[in-house]
Amino acid sequence: MHVGVLAIQGDFEKHIRSLQSLDSPPQTSEVRTVEDLAAIDRLIIPGGESTTVGLLLKRYGLGDAIQARAKDGMPIWGTCMGMIMLAKQVEGREQFSLSLLDITVKRNAFGAQVHSFEAPVEVKGLDEPVLGVFIRAPIVTSLGDEVETLATYQDKVVAVKQGSILGTSFHPELTADTRLHEWFVRI
């Protein structure tokens, strides 16, 4: 198993550390090029700034390559900005997205950086809540028929799954809890 973390911008190092701390850690690497993407089995798209990352994915052909790998069944997990990049639509914005999750997202739905917070989030399939770290976090405002809601916070959808594509509004990589990373590796 070889898990890559998109390393264009954002908190990619934290995801790599979380993956490396698993009981049976997978091989991990940073993904910056189409060639890097071709060498992995799974991809995590971390938090960051979606407009910048979208422009870079488009400019260097990595967006097309990610879409092709997803169509071939490669599991992909987007956290925060990563979920925005996976969405079919971004509310009120014209920006590049991979359109791999049949969802509409609203950016910064809980407010600006100063409104960041942590809260327990019950995730479908896990016995105990995870600590959700919400930093300028998006929410899902509409879901396609094939999208499963995995978690809500204050009646807002904050985690979804469609086939082998997963999106979370929050940052599990910023906690010591690796259950979501373990789950992603097993998809």
Residues serving a catalytic function are 80, 171, 173
What is the rounded CA–CA span in Å between residue 105 and residue 102?
10
Rounded to 5, what percent of the chain is helix, strand, coil?
30, 35, 40
CA dist 2 → 9, 27, 98, 105 (Å)? 20, 5, 22, 29
Residues comprising the chain, all counted: 187
SS3 133: strand
H/E stretch holding 50: helix 50-59
Give the CA diameter of the chain.
Answer: 42
What is the rounded CA–CA span in Å between residue 100 and residue 23?
30
